[in-house]
Amino acid sequence: MVKVGSERSALLSEDKLKMLTEHRNLKEFVSDLREIALQEKIDKLQPPITSRKLEKLFREDQVESYCKMVQSVPDTVFQFLKIYIQKFEYENLKTILKAVNVGLTNEETLNRILLPAEDFLGNHDLFERITAAIDVKAVVGMMQETVYTEVLNAALRRYEETKSLQFFDVLLDKMYYENFTEAFKKLPTKEQKTAFLYASLDADGFALLAILRGKALNHDPHWIRLAIPRVHLNITGITVEAIITAEDFEHALGIVVESSYGRYFTKAETPETAIAKAEQALKKARFEHARKSRIKDTFSIGTPLGFMVQKEAETYNLIAISLGIEYGWSSEHILQTLLL
């Protein structure tokens, strides 16, 4: 709890984030960051400074902060909080598959993944080796005898038929959220109650957004069922099936609006805009709940989890600011993209 207090005190204030949006270039932006945090990491950046390099730096800092939290929590909540770090491993695997598929070098691929997550999970050597794979099939071969074997083999069969990596993304995301939900259900009842809003917005939100994206693209209902987790936390299977089999996107969105998550979804000019607004609303709801949380005298999963969600929002904001500055956006335009 002392660690949480220390880490939370280092989070950037809303006023500081607003000030960062006013910089005219990344050099000024980085100079300001050097004054408040991340100095050691920033000093190691090789010029030229780009938003891509900064994104990796911010996300590595996020992973390291998560690891500090999770390694100190009681055993009763360890497995659930650990899965927030495992999410970066799923992302690493998807990144490697894409990099290998387009023929990036080992070094280029390594520069795109977050190895601090693998250090914590004990898979650094394995993930460093698979960045040198010659093709997608070789990556899958090197990942045999891991927890990913079944999913990767299934995706590989579809990849060999279509040459599309989409199946890897879909099945790995589904695997992650099914494991996430399973880990949540193993929490003690008291901790489940505390973590419920975070977990339901995350897992159910992912499923609803995935279904709506499928409806917007006119995907077959069978394909949509394949893409989403089989277990949900705060929405019934009957409602999920009704959304999947709805006549079109508008009817599907209408069912979502009438569900327990309706306040996060609104109709818009295009399906893409409606989905983007909903995704932002779900993120903001998790962040606002975390910001309101307080450090108590006795341990609760809400203490580290609230910090982790706030750190996630800070990382998101810093990445958005760096991209906006690089693209030459105005401060007002950048502010519209932030979670504040």
Is residue 224 in a domain?
Answer: yes
CA atoms within 13 A on the CB side of 36: 13
Beta-carbon neighbour count of residue 242 at 10 Å?
A: 16
Rounded CA-CA distance 50/15 in Å is 24
One domain for residues 118 and 82: yes
Is residue 81 in a domain?
Answer: yes
One domain for residues 63 and 113: no
pLDDT at residue number 329:
96
For 22, residues 6+ apart whose C-beta sits below 8 A from its C-beta are 331
Of 135, 162, 187, the residue at which a domain comes to its end is 187
CATH of the domain at 196: 1.20.1690
Is residue 158 in a domain?
Answer: yes
One domain for residues 93 and 176: yes
Is residue 277 in a domain?
Answer: yes
One domain for residues 31 and 62: yes
- Are the C-beta atoms of 330 and 321 separated by less than 8 Å? no
Is residue 205 in a domain?
Answer: yes
One domain for residues 67 and 80: no
Is residue 294 in a domain?
Answer: yes
Is residue 292 in a domain?
Answer: yes
CA atoms within 13 A on the CB side of 201: 21
Q: Which long-range contacts (CB under 8 A, 24 or more apart) does 23-29 make?
A: 23/325, 24/325, 25/325, 26/50, 26/51, 26/54, 26/322, 26/325, 26/326, 29/321, 29/322, 29/325
One domain for residues 265 and 226: yes
One domain for residues 152 and 80: yes
pLDDT at residue number 35:
65
Of 187, 205, 238, the residue at which a domain comes to its end is 187
Q: How many domains is the chain partitioned into structurally?
A: 3
Structural domain including 293 reads 188-300
Give the DSSP letter of residue 339: -
Cα–Cα–Cα angle for 253, 178, 100, nearest 5°?
Answer: 95
One domain for residues 91 and 120: yes
One domain for residues 63 and 97: no
Of 151, 170, 187, the residue at which a domain comes to its end is 187
Is residue 195 in a domain?
Answer: yes
**Which residue has 């939370």 as its token pair?**
8
Comparing CA positions, the residue from 253, 275, 273, 251 lying closest to residue 262 is 253
One domain for residues 51 and 123: no
One domain for residues 261 and 178: no
One domain for residues 64 and 115: no
Full pLDDT tens readout for the chain, 340 residues: 777 777 888 899 999 999 999 999 999 999 888 766 688 888 888 889 999 999 999 999 999 999 988 998 999 999 999 999 999 999 999 999 999 999 999 999 999 999 999 999 999 999 999 999 999 999 999 999 999 999 999 999 999 999 999 999 999 999 999 999 999 999 999 999 999 999 999 999 999 999 999 999 999 999 999 999 999 999 999 999 999 999 999 999 999 999 999 999 999 999 999 999 999 999 999 999 999 887 676 789 999 999 999 999 999 999 999 999 999 999 999 999 999 9
